[in-house]
Amino acid sequence: MRTHILYTGGTLGMVPTPDGLAPGADLTGWLDQLLSGTELAGTFETLSFEHLIDSANATPADWGRIVDNLWAHREEADSFVVLHGTDTLAYTSAALSYALTDFGKPVVVTGSQYSLGVVGTDAAPNVTGALRAVTSGRLHGVAVFFGHKLLRGNRVTKSSSWAYNGFDSPAAPQLARTGAPWQWIENDSTGCGWLDPRPYRRHDVLVVDLSPGLSAARLRAVLDPLPEAVILRAFGVGNVPSDEPGLVDVILDVISAGTPVVVASQCMQADVLLGHYQSSHALAEGGAISAHDMTLEALYAKLVFLLSQGLRGKELGRWVETDIAGEISM
């Protein structure tokens, strides 16, 4: 089995310089040494982007670059590992899951909290774990390996900036956990898929967090000019401060103007139930869309994906609530 390893940037491959950490590690040499004498020795090829990404600067165009690279090497490899910075790794893994539903080969995204040259780095266990997972014959679709856990790529969120188990899957079980032997959970592909998707394009998707005391005037100012779509991160199961004068009217005006409003929860674990409480009844009646139990990263990438496919209006809303790649519990 041949594995294509793509290094896109991030802490894992950085080395100390007088100006701070910068790309420069010999990834191929490090991997050769790391895997020497194992069953994975000589079974991989590495490629680095010419212009490496600090993942804090990643955009949908970079998601597209990764997708294009994987497709370009699909016929010569059986499995794929993407090395990525941790800041926006969960956005990228979700984006890949939508764009690669018809890819037919496993993809694992990983990174590290420490660069590979640091004593005690998590780079080695994360990369070897990703390689074990992607060559196991048991993985379907896009996953993230981090901190001894294999997680569905569109169900993860970054939960810590420093812990070695820095990613979690709050609304879905992990796919596997390392051990002797690994402990696997059934991970059959779910979702309807998307054949021959158009490439990712940058779109104006605004994320708004509600907070106690937020005024209608402030919310209206944030939404002017109107974006292409709004993710409204509400309380609990989708509740909003409905007693705040004019605030619900601002949201309903946005929907009436043709901008979809998707209501998500600020909770790590939640299923958005619009209309379950009186405080969200008006939004349910006014045409707001439920994010159900999607993570913010999965929802944001999904909206950009759907907008990139040319969807708007009610059709976009219907697809937000449709399971494409296992990102939503239905």
**Residues belonging to the active site:** 11
Q: Is 281 exposed, middle or buried (0-12, 13-18, 19+ CB in 10 A)?
A: middle
Question: Which secondary-structure segment (H or E) carries 71?
Answer: helix 60-72
What own/partner pairs with CB < 8 Å and gap ≥ 24 does 32-39 have? 34/124, 34/127, 34/128, 35/128, 35/131
Give how far the C-alpha of residue 30 lies from the chain's centroid of Cα atoms, to the nearest Å: 27
Q: Is 110 exposed, middle or buried (0-12, 13-18, 19+ CB in 10 A)?
A: buried
Distance of CA 135 to the CA centre of its chain: 22
